[in-house]
Structure 1
Amino acid sequence: MIKVEDIHKRFGDEEILKGISTTFDKGKTNLIIGQSGSGKTVMLKCLIGLFKPEEGRIYYEDEAIQDMDDEKQRALREDIGMLFQGGALFDSMTIEENVMFPLRMFTKQKKSDMLERVNEVLARVNLENVNKKYPAEISGGMQKRVSIARAIVNRPKYLFCDEPNSGLDPKTATLIDNLIQEITHEYDITTIVVTHDMNSVMEIGQKVVLLKNGKLVWQGTNEEIFKTDNEDVTNFVYSSDLFKKIREVQLKEQ
């Protein structure tokens, strides 16, 4: 579980996050949504410690990041898996080397043990016999699955995903969403996904946090998001062409 208490983040005179408080539960897919410029990415970077809020506290389980010494912060980094927007695979490394990279960084395992774990997670994301290929030799959807394998290779307690469906066709995007949710439940981890994709909200949004202009304006489940009369929610949800059509059908049925 990750708990956020009244965090503020500024860059110069501009306040990007304006007093956000919420919790992200273990074993659930927690989504942060909002339009561009709403503060989603800044919040994500605060959560993983890349940015330090000027005010407020961020707790991992019962301990605030601000209270952790260097050793505890290093241990926390080992417990975090990260799926970057573009995949962020190393072009000069094979798939096997890419997935093994966190193990080389954070563990002292034997090469044979690392390879066994690499093959385990590649099989988990339905990728086999690609070990010696390079990222450029596989599709974008396969690259995303490799990135997921790399993110979970260290058995993280926390998984962060930044726009995981960016650049993917709808069918592949749904596959990635479902894979993220399956892994979250299977490993009982705390997963936080930053997205503006309403299809992802509908598919996997067990907890949804909506940001607008740096403020948290609504939170609930993917079922509740379609029942609320919160104006910020309805404006965001039905800005999507797909959900405009859904809304038209709903109004006709009333």
Structure 2
Amino acid sequence: MIEVKGLHKSFGEEHILKGIDFVFDTGKTNLVIGQSGSGKSVLMKCMLGLFTPEKGTIEYDGKAYSTFTDEQKRELRQEIGMLFQGGALFDSMTVEENVMFPLRMFTKKRKRELKERVDEVLERVNLNDSGKKYPAEISGGMQKRVAIARAIVNRPKYLFCDEPNSGLDPHTATVIDNLIHELTVEYDITTVVITHDMNSLLEIGEKIAFLKDGVLAWTGDKSQIFKTDDQTVTDFVYSSDLFKKVKEAQRQGL
């Protein structure tokens, strides 16, 4: 579990986060949604320790990050998996080498043990025959699965996903959404997904934080978001063509 309490973050005169309170539950896909500039990315970077908030605390399983020693921060970093927006694979490395990279960085396992773990996660994301290929030799969806394998190879307690479906077609995006959700449940991970993709909200929105202008404007799940009377939320959600179709289908009782 990750708990954010009264979080404020500014850059000069610009107040980005304005007292965010939210609990990211373990074993669930926790989505942070909102328009560009709402504070989603700043919130995530505060949670990762890349930005230091002026006020408030971020607690990892009840322990405030601000009280951590350098060694405790290093240990926490080993427990975090990160799925970047563009995948961020190393073009000069094979799929196998990309996935092995965090193991080499954070563990002292023997080469045989590293290879066994890499093979295990590649099989889990259905890429067991692609280890010797380079990123340029596989599809965008496969690249994203490689990035997921790399993010979970160290058996993280926490998984952060930054726009995981960016650049993917709807079918592949759904495959990635479902894979993230399956791994979250399977490994009992606290998963945080920053997204503007309404398909993701429908697929895996078990717990949702909607930010607007740096304020936590609404919380709920994928079923409750259709029932809210909050105009700010409905204006954002139903600007999506997908949600317009869903709402019309609900109205017609389909």
TM-score, normalised relative to structure 1:
0.98
CA distance in structure 1 between the aligned counterparts of 2:221 and 2:100, rounded to whole angstroms: 35
Q: Number of residues paired by the alignment?
A: 253
The 5 Å alignment of 1:59-78 reads: 59-78=59-78
1:251 Cα offset (Å): 4.2
1:155 corresponding residue in structure 2: 155
Q: Please list every run of at least 4 consecutive aligned residues from structure 1 whose deviation after the TM superposition is greater than 3 angstroms.
A: 248-253
Provide Cα deviations, 1:69-95, integer angstroms capped at 9, x if missing partner: 011100000000000000000011111
Partner of 1:160, secondary structure, is strand
Q: Percent identity?
A: 69
Provide Cα deviations, 1:166-195, integer angstroms capped at 9, x if missing partner: 000000000000000000000001000000
CA distance in structure 2 between the aligned counterparts of 1:33 and 1:88, rounded to whole angstroms: 22
2:181 corresponding residue in structure 1: 181
Matched, 1:139 2:139: yes
Provide Cα deviations, 1:203-251, integer angstroms capped at 9, x if missing partner: 0011000000111000011111111111111111100011122223444
Gaps of 5+ in 1: none
The 5 Å alignment of 1:40-59 reads: 40-59=40-59
1:16 corresponding residue in structure 2: 16
Partner amino acid, structure 2, of 1:118: V
1:252 Cα offset (Å): 5.1
Partner amino acid, structure 2, of 1:198: M
The 5 Å alignment of 1:45-124 reads: 45-124=45-124
CA distance in structure 1 between the aligned counterparts of 2:171 and 2:112, rounded to whole angstroms: 36
Mean alpha-carbon deviation: is it higher for 221-230 or for 139-148?
221-230
CA distance in structure 2 between the aligned counterparts of 1:184 and 1:44, rounded to whole angstroms: 18
CA distance in structure 1 between the aligned counterparts of 2:91 and 2:207, rounded to whole angstroms: 35
Partner amino acid, structure 1, of 2:10: R
2:247 corresponding residue in structure 1: 247
1:169 corresponding residue in structure 2: 169
TM-score, normalised relative to structure 2:
0.98
CA distance in structure 1 between the aligned counterparts of 2:88 and 2:242, rounded to whole angstroms: 30
Partner of 2:44, secondary structure, is helix
1:39 corresponding residue in structure 2: 39
2:201 corresponding residue in structure 1: 201
Partner of 2:176, secondary structure, is helix
Matched, 1:235 2:248: no
Partner amino acid, structure 2, of 1:132: K
Partner of 1:141, secondary structure, is helix
CA RMSD of aligned residues (A): 0.9
Partner amino acid, structure 2, of 1:53: P
Gaps of 5+ in 2: none
CA distance in structure 2 between the aligned counterparts of 1:111 and 1:15, rounded to whole angstroms: 48
Partner amino acid, structure 1, of 2:185: H
